[in-house]
Structure 1
Amino acid sequence: MTDFDGQMRPLVADDLPRVIEIDENNTGRSRKDFFEKRVSAALKKPKQFVYIAYEHNGNMQGYLLARLQQGAFGGEETVAVVDDIGVSSEMQGRGIGRHLMNELTAIIQKKDIHEIRSQADWSDQNILHFFAAAGFQLAPRFIYERKADYMDRVVVEDDDEPLEIDFSDPSGDDSGALSRDQVPCRSLQQQDLAAIIKIDSKIMGYDRTSYYERKMDEILLESGIRVSLVAELDDHVVGFVMARVDFGEFGQTEPSAIIDTLGVDPGYAHKNVGSALLSQLMANLTVLRTDRVRTEVGVNQLALQGFLQNNGFGLAQSLSFTKAI
């Protein structure tokens, strides 16, 4: 490893073609759509992102993309989530990735943020070694996934299951027999925000309006395909699933859906609302030919893990990482 030579600066819109080029050269596949949407979102709301470029001899040779999330995983603290980091092939082995991570650390410290999170495939030895060298540790969370296919089967209801599945925090939902016909589900719309916040407040016991405002923007404006749903009974929203189809997050090269949150009004627990939402989501994703569905859950959230397992999810071949700052 040689001494650091070059400069760090904010990544700008004009850097986008070079970011795409570096990534495609490293992975062998283009994630153009993913990077375009991420950069567009950062330009609209720069306070919610930290995008860093490494420049050497006037040429951009590396980048780091991170989101700032508050309210994720049920906490109230803001954390930095690294979506992607890349260094051009000709500059690899010079510690550039480490310097990019150090730059991120310095920036978020000034913002009073004290944790960095990310994910990686367990078979990607290069990134695993990088995270270890950068001081990351395994996070106390599991990543679950399942094939995106139809769920026309009966699931035994469990009275001990929680009310919200939030892979921003958690709780769970009942897992009764699937009932898309009995529990009507439709696409989530901007005007559903107030109902979602109300349901979440009942479950969590405190208000996460700012978190859901950002999540709504991400799902409705940044995601390539809108797949989030709400369930309605008695002429009002009684449950929701916030999900997105993403191509490229955490280095993934195949299109997959990410479930962020699934919540059910406590007054409608054990009425198959959660299972209906999940079943309808899987049916929609099957039509869209999305390959996998992924989500994240705390290691101590046993009821939530049981819900996922009862609905066909298993542990993914990916690991969740965290670094305290």
Structure 2
Amino acid sequence: MAIEQLTIRALTRDDLPAVVAIDIEGRSRRDYVERRLAAALREPRLHAQFAASDAKGLAGYILARVLEGEFGRSEPGLRLEMVGVRPDARGHGAGARLFQVLTDWARRHAIRDAHTTATWRDAAMLGWLGAMGFRLAPSYVLDVSLDKDRRPVPHEGPVTLPRGHGPGAEVDFGAPQANDDERMASERPEVRAMRPDDLREIVRIDRGITGRDRGSYIEARLAEAMHDSAIRVSLAARRQGAIVGFVMARADLGDYGRAAPVAVVDTIGVDVGQSRRQVGRVLLEELFANLAALQIERVETLVASTHLPLLGFFQHNGFRPSQRLAFKRRLDA
């Protein structure tokens, strides 16, 4: 088959059976692909998906989503989620042709880089990514299992020493634990699902952390959570009636060739005045409980290698280096 015989067009719902047939043998992800196509129709500006057709029908496909503010981003990017080519059409440049069309689409939408992840064991995918110009990204993929026997239980030391347990059995008023900040930490914040009327305070907290107004991004993700709570979970923490932190995660039900359900934490923030008061820890605890109820087995996130405080926070709460690697490719090169 010559590459000139391929016709590139938009992927549609009618292609669903053919996409599932090309996808990983023995591990049908029909539900994921169906949801993915529905999301693209609902939010076309955030999705790019193309099909390659030949005389036999669907020869290949590629799906990507626009990143707006995930993982602290300041400019839009493209998240490559799925790519597949029919076995008898492989080796003839169909994947490269699809990626080139995707790249052209991204440039027209002022998107300058593409991102993806792949397990280090997938030699075929790693080779294809290398051929397409992807390089290792300066980021770490971290994950944690939600298996009941391995679920992390963050340790928190005592807030004060009990009476009579200081040196010499006296009350130790000088113990470093007995300070106002740590007493505040003992007041566990209330965590609940994020609501539309939380938006203003969430944006304020995010602006205090990032120095940018990302209201449009947060509003869009909040609307997504309202529309489909089985795909996106967004939680807010309150203390004494005020919002002091938030976390946003989405269920990844098939991205990057995965068959097992995974959740991705893409945005988390704690009011700068509430640091070291366990707000982030409590948010993750509640998030893990919500995701476990959705039959999610593992939680993942992406952290820049230079963001040492955030790396420390996630590792302290049970996250460890994943078996997946992060890749990036500049699209203006």
Shorter-chain TM-score range: 0.7 to 0.9
What's 1:8 paired with? Answer: 8
- Match of 1:300, as an amino acid? T
Note if 1:235 corresponds to 2:241: yes
**Match for 2:204 among 185, 188, 198?**
198
What's 1:33 paired with? Answer: 31
1:1-325 correspondence to structure 2 within 5 Å = 2-23=2-23, 26-57=24-55, 59-148=57-146, 149=148, 150-155=151-156, 182-222=188-228, 224-325=230-331
> For structure 2, which runs of at least 5 residues remain unmatched after alignment?
159-181
* Alpha carbons 1:223, 1:245 under 8 Å: kept: no
* Alpha carbons 2:249, 2:264 under 8 Å: kept: yes
Rounded to whole Å, the distance in 1 between the matches of 2:3 and 2:306 is 43
Residue by residue over 1:163-189, the C-alpha shift from the partner in whole angstroms, topping out at 9 and shown as x without a partner, is xxxxxxxxxxxxx89x89822111223
Rounded to whole Å, the distance in 1 between the matches of 2:232 and 2:73 is 26
* Alpha carbons 1:41, 1:222 under 8 Å: kept: no
1:228 is paired with a residue of what secondary structure? strand
With 13-22 and 32-41 compared, the bigger mean Cα shift is at 13-22
Rounded to whole Å, the distance in 1 between the matches of 2:17 and 2:26 is 15
- Match of 1:60, as an amino acid? L
* Alpha carbons 1:155, 1:311 under 8 Å: kept: no
> Displacement, 1:105?
1.0
Residue by residue over 1:53-85, the C-alpha shift from the partner in whole angstroms, topping out at 9 and shown as x without a partner, is 111116122111111122334333211111111
With 287-296 and 121-130 compared, the bigger mean Cα shift is at 287-296
> Displacement, 1:205?
1.4
* Alpha carbons 1:223, 1:246 under 8 Å: kept: no
With 58-67 and 312-321 compared, the bigger mean Cα shift is at 58-67
- Match of 1:17, as an amino acid? P
TM-score, normalized by length of structure 1?
Answer: 0.86
> For structure 1, which runs of at least 5 residues remain unmatched after alignment?
158-175
1:40–1:180 Cα change, 3 Å: farther
Rounded to whole Å, the distance in 2 between the matches of 1:296 and 1:5 is 39
- Rg larger for: 2
- Match of 1:18, as an amino acid? A
1:2–1:125 Cα change, 3 Å: farther
What's 2:177 paired with? Answer: none
1:135 is paired with a residue of what secondary structure? coil
* Identical counterparts, % of pairs: 37
> Displacement, 1:7?
0.9
1:226–1:51 Cα change, 3 Å: closer
1:271 is paired with a residue of what secondary structure? coil
Rounded to whole Å, the distance in 2 between the matches of 1:41 and 1:5 is 30
Instruction: Give the number of aligned pairs.
Output: 304
> Displacement, 1:254?
0.3
Rounded to whole Å, the distance in 2 between the matches of 1:110 and 1:151 is 44
TM-score, normalized by length of structure 2?
Answer: 0.84
Rounded to whole Å, the distance in 2 between the matches of 1:34 and 1:181 is 40
